[in-house]
Amino acid sequence: MTPRERYLSCMLFGDPDRVELCPGGGRRSTLAAWHAQGLPEDVSDYNEYAYRLAGGTHDWPRGGPGFPVNERLIPTFEEKVLEVRADSQVVQDWKGNVCEIGLEYSTEYLRNALDFVTRRWIKCPVESRGDWEQMEARYDSDAAARLPSDPAALGRTLAARDWPVGLHFSGPFWQLREWLGFESLCTLLIDDPDWVHEMILFWERHVARLLERAFAHVIPDFVWLSEDMAYKEHAMISPAMVREFLLPTWRRWGEIVRGAGVPVYGMDSDGHVGELVPLWIEAGLNACDPIEVAAGNDLPAFRRACGRKIAFRGGVDKRAMARGGRVIEAEIERLAPVVRDGGYVPSCDHGVPADVSWPNYVRYVGLLARVTGWL
């Protein structure tokens, strides 16, 4: 199978030659630790290297170009340091947020997920209707810069691809939280629901237009949303609020996605998603990740409850990876029945943290390769 065929077979409950091998992704602090523990500095793909160390001989899947779509505000805000304190700094990020971060980080860390960065929000860019009007002006859905420079040519290239290609978008909860801040968003859901509906509808139309523009040139294999809308035990808002405020947008985007022939429509959310998975299924989503174990998610239980209505990615407890030995062996054994049932690509249940040592990571990759058919 080609990597694209294998991806689709895995996510659509097919019969792949072997399940995708996607162990996880380390951040900068993780890679720094691994380099000190034996990972050579000149290795460009540490997952392939770990697979080889574990005895793997299959050809490693190679990707190719994607079809980047820019949903972000244009222009972005100026990134700058506003104040340097004894042990921290106050910065403005590209989204217009003012927040406090450690001195060891630059604003680049807030632009992309380079590492695990703790921050304290001080001020968010939308605090009034006037702020909102100015923010709206930064989202011209028809701006040329939102698609690749020659989308038609890239689309023709991708038509013959043998690797999976997808589009990623922020969901309405995620995006409103970026504009308003978490606390303000939650209070507005009660105090001014009409304004919340207005902002959600604006974002719904923005992403819908971007989907339509992209689909004119390429039909991807997946469209993935990000919401990150759950705590350790529950969703951040009630299922009733999800149904009122978010489900209609997820459903409308899903109609566009399915109407274009895109086979996988997925959702990313940290935290405990047990209350959310049934709503995602209702909205037409058929995949989700990363299924964090520390948040109480039980992937085998989700499969028993949902059957084959939704596929999963992730679900391997990063804490078991860090402990290694018999602990990680038991973790892979726990998930093996779901791997065999299909519709599941096992992987680290978030970014791989630095407390996962390089030797333990290699051992984990070997175990994962065996259960997915790569060894």
Question: Do residue 165 and residue 218 come from a single domain?
Answer: yes
Question: Do residue 163 and residue 223 come from a single domain?
Answer: yes
Pairing of strands 80-84, 88-92: antiparallel
Question: Do residue 159 and residue 103 come from a single domain?
Answer: no
Question: Do residue 119 and residue 190 come from a single domain?
Answer: no
CATH number of the domain that residue 261 is part of:
3.20.20.210
Question: Do residue 88 and residue 220 come from a single domain?
Answer: no
Alpha helices in 324-374 (DSSP H): 325-341, 358-372
Question: Do residue 166 and residue 245 come from a single domain?
Answer: yes
Question: Do residue 331 and residue 299 come from a single domain?
Answer: yes
Number of domains in the chain: 2
pLDDT digits (tens, 9 = 90+) for 280-338: 999 999 999 999 999 999 999 999 999 999 999 999 999 999 999 999 999 999 999 99
Question: Do residue 214 and residue 92 come from a single domain?
Answer: no
Q: What is the mean pLDDT of residues 29-46?
A: 97
pLDDT of the residue at 138: 98
Contact 84, 104 (CB under 8 A): no
pLDDT of the residue at 141: 98
Last residue of a domain, one of 66, 91, 124: 124
Last residue of a domain, one of 108, 124, 140: 124
Structure-token match 């810069």, residue found: 145
Cα separation, 200 vs 227, whole angstroms: 13
Question: Do residue 109 and residue 11 come from a single domain?
Answer: no
Q: What is the mean pLDDT of residues 8-35?
A: 97
Domain that holds residue 93: 78-124
Last residue of a domain, one of 97, 124, 151: 124
List the one residue out of 136, 266, 260 whose CA is nearest residue 201: 136
pLDDT digits (tens, 9 = 90+) for 64-117: 999 999 999 999 999 999 999 999 999 999 999 999 999 999 999 999 989 999
| Element of type H or E holding 344 | strand 344-348
Structure-token match 């989202």, residue found: 139
Question: Do residue 187 and residue 86 come from a single domain?
Answer: no
Cα separation, 51 vs 374, whole angstroms: 9
Contact 50, 361 (CB under 8 A): yes
pLDDT of the residue at 184: 97
Contact 300, 335 (CB under 8 A): yes
* β-pair partners for 1: none
pLDDT of the residue at 326: 98
Q: What is the mean pLDDT of residues 54-73?
A: 97
pLDDT digits (tens, 9 = 90+) for 214-269: 999 999 999 999 999 999 999 999 999 999 999 999 999 999 999 999 999 999 99
pLDDT digits (tens, 9 = 90+) for 120-177: 999 999 999 999 999 999 999 999 999 999 999 999 999 999 999 999 999 999 999 9
Looking at residue 244, the DSSP 8-state letter turns out to be I
Cα separation, 230 vs 236, whole angstroms: 5
Q: Is the pTM of the predicted complex or chain greater than 0.85?
A: yes
Helix (H, G, I), strand (E, B) or coil at 230: strand
- Sequence-distant contacts of 192-195: CB under 8 A, at least 24 apart: 193/245, 195/129, 195/132
Question: Do residue 90 and residue 60 come from a single domain?
Answer: no
Phi, psi of 286 (to 5 degrees): -125, 20
Helix (H, G, I), strand (E, B) or coil at 289: strand
Contact 296, 276 (CB under 8 A): no
Question: Do residue 259 and residue 352 come from a single domain?
Answer: yes
Give me the half-sphere count of Cα atoms (radius 13 Å) on the Cβ side of residue 277: 25
